[in-house]
Amino acid sequence: MTAEPLKTFVNGVEVNVPNSIPDIRAALPDERREEFDRAINEAGVHDIHAVMRHWMLQAAPDSEADALLERLALDEAERRGVA
């Protein structure tokens, strides 16, 4: 049984936020999944909710933030002469 997604607003747009460990993991970029797995596996009973809330927000789609990070990466690559 999959947990029903929660909803939040990102930049004024309502988005679904994954609400289970498998759904959060699936929504993360590949390079963040190992960090997520470690955080979940190290969480104790008293802090699992906080760990899940943190990662739920990390997994929420944010196209403006993604575009900003892409621009910053391009700027850095250009600065280093890689682009």
Give pLDDT tens digits for 2-15: 556 677 666 776 77
Assigned token pair, 64: 């403006």
**What's the whole-model pTM score?**
0.62
CA 26 to chain CA mean position, Å: 10
Contact assessment for residue 58 and residue 32, using Cβ atoms and an 8 Å cutoff: yes
Assigned token pair, 17: 């936020």
CA–CA separation, 79 and 72 (whole Å): 10
pLDDT at site 33: 94
Place of tokens 């190992």: 34
Q: Which amino acid does the sequence have at 32?
A: R
32-59 per-position pLDDT tens digit: 999 999 999 999 999 999 999 888 888 8
Whether the pLDDT of residue 1 is over 60: the answer is no
